[in-house]
Amino acid sequence: MKPLSRARSLRALMLGLNLFVLALPIAGIAALRIVENLLHRQTETKLTAEGAYVQALYLEALSEIMVEDIVTDFPPVRYIPDPPPLLDDYWRPYFPSLDLSRQPVLPPGPPGKKPASPPHPVALEAGRRIMPLLRAVRRFNLSGIRVLDANGVVVATDSDQLGEDLSAREEIASALEGRYSSALRERGVKPALGAISRRSRVRVYVAMPIMLDQHHQAGVVYLHRTSLSFFRDMWEPRYTAAVVLIVLTAIGISLYISAVMVRPLKDLVRQAQQVAAGGRGVEIDRGRFALREARELSDALAQMVERLNQRLSYMEEFSRNVSHELKTPLAGMQGAIELLKENWPEMTEAERAKFLGIIEGESRRMERLVRRLLELARLEMAGPSEESTDLAAALDSLVRRHREAGRVVNFEATSTPANARVSPDLAEIIFGNLIDNAVTHGGGPVTVRLLPGLTVEVEDGGPGISAANLPRVFDRFFTTSRVAGGTGLGLAMVRAAVEACGAKIEVESQPGRTVFRVSFPPASGGVGEIR
């Protein structure tokens, strides 16, 4: 077992856990997602800059060809009836529009197909003139460039697909309607580790319409490139600042959570140590914990302290009652012994027998008192039990024993059996003491009834219990027959046994009739209440 002094502190564990938990979802998902989106947009911005240059090259080549009179007809153009609005009469900016939260990553684009008709010779010648420049640009920028005519057929390329129809791709179809379009597509083949191409899983595609004027379109510039590398570009100052901010935020939050949790826990430990040292009246703060587990711990400790305080109060009261009840027989025995010691020679045999009888009677009373006190303590410490008892059988056996002892006890039961959740021992204590109390203090016959609802009544026809004494009949050591040897513990034992099995007891009394009524819970899986 790890020594307590070398055990990791809760602060260190919580700090490490929170740093780990915060770093992964926040820095690893949110920040990476944001940075990845920014890198895609930066790539898109660079491609639009290249595309604007290629647009100008292609339009310049078309103009040169027409001026040279190599051909007499201009290549076909596409009429755009509803072009997108312009910023003003001069500026034609393209703003990046890629957004990972709104645009899905598309699969690789469909391959080019054979066009229905070949491209116009002027478009092919213009493309041929600018292709050396496109290849030169590719060497430095690593971007793929295609120039398409008004029908979506490639007329200039930096590598392949010359003469193929690419109009089936979504971004190209949108650009052929005069609208700037961009898209993210998966890479068809993952590059090798040593490849010069970036290892991004997606490519950025940009389709820019080549406009002669606001309503006439000569073609499309189609560019693509893998996105900028996060791990390479993250060391730029602005990204470094973002990473540092995320780390500092994570550390600050972790320290805050650690302080919020550890400080109350330290107070809880201090309060627990006070309780362990025997402190009384220690109050556990149960409302300052934000975590459910910590709050449950404080609640459990508060309940334990409350139980301990109740138990200590019970023991103090129990000790006072015991000392008070034992004082009378001890005083009687001590007085009788002193008289015997001082006057033994002068006493007659009858006087000696009298005082010895007092000593014997008081000792028996003490023995009975101690025995019942031990039984009462055992009952009050008893926990809940799942044992069951057939009330009809238990009452019938108990009533039969009283009848054999010459007592008049009647038993009435509406039906049998009736299984209640009470152990046989507790049932014996409850019914035995109630019948003994009825026989001792009542008058006439005692009637025991087993009623529907697992309810038992014990009725006697005695003088009844006064209104002043009725609330105290279940108190320990309360008795009206102390001279006759009563201990005042019988009904206290009944109440303790009733509470131990989860039952309920009530008493009704009037002159000539007293009824004790006990209602038991049904046995688990048993027969239940009688009908």
Range scoring the smallest mean pLDDT among 407-411, 448-452, 470-474: 470-474
Query: pTM (2 decimals)?
Result: 0.45
Would you state the pLDDT for residue 206?
95
Would you state the pLDDT for residue 518?
92
Residues 62 and 166 grouped into a single domain: yes
Residues 365 and 433 grouped into a single domain: no
Domain that holds residue 203: 28-231
Residues 388 and 375 grouped into a single domain: no
Cβ neighbours for 20, distance < 8 A, ≥ 6 positions apart: none
CATH number assigned to the domain comprising residue 356: 1.10.287.130
Range scoring the smallest mean pLDDT among 156-170, 276-290, 454-468: 276-290
What is the rounded average pLDDT of the residues 104-114? 90
Does residue 160 have a pLDDT over 80?
yes
Would you state the pLDDT for residue 219?
93
Cβ–Cβ under 8 Å, residues 529 and 418? yes
Residue 299 is assigned to a structural domain of this protein: no
Residues 108 and 192 grouped into a single domain: yes
Would you state the pLDDT for residue 244?
75
Does residue 529 have a pLDDT over 50?
no
* The two structure tokens encoding residue 347: 């006493």
Residues 480 and 505 grouped into a single domain: yes
Percent of the chain with pLDDT over 90: 18
Would you state the pLDDT for residue 383?
64
Q: Residue 321 and residue 328: Cα distance in Å, rounded?
A: 12
Give 11's pLDDT tier (boundaries 50, 70, 90).
Answer: low
Residues 375 and 386 grouped into a single domain: no
Query: What is the separation of C-alpha 263 from the centre of its chain, rounded to a whole number of angstroms?
Result: 22
Residues 332 and 419 grouped into a single domain: no
Would you state the pLDDT for residue 496?
84
In 80-226, DSSP assigns E strands to 144-149, 154-157, 181-186, 202-211, 216-226
What is the rounded average pLDDT of the residues 460-473? 84
CATH number assigned to the domain comprising residue 449: 3.30.565.10
Which of 327, 355, 379 terminates a domain? The answer is: 379
Tens-place pLDDT, residues 295-311: 677 777 777 877 777 77
Give 71's pLDDT tier (boundaries 50, 70, 90).
Answer: low
Does residue 531 have a pLDDT over 50?
no
Residues 327 and 415 grouped into a single domain: no
Would you state the pLDDT for residue 490?
76
- What count of other Cβ atoms lies within 10 Å of the Cβ of residue 345? 5
Give the side-chain half-sphere CA count within 13 A for 105.
Answer: 15
Which of 379, 407, 431 terminates a domain? The answer is: 379
Number of domains in the chain: 3
Residue 411 is assigned to a structural domain of this protein: yes
Give 530's pLDDT tier (boundaries 50, 70, 90).
Answer: very low
Q: Tell me the pairing of strands 446-451 and 409-413.
A: parallel
Burial of 348 (0-12, 13-18, 19+ CB in 10 A): exposed
pLDDT, mean over the chain: 79
Residues 139 and 221 grouped into a single domain: yes
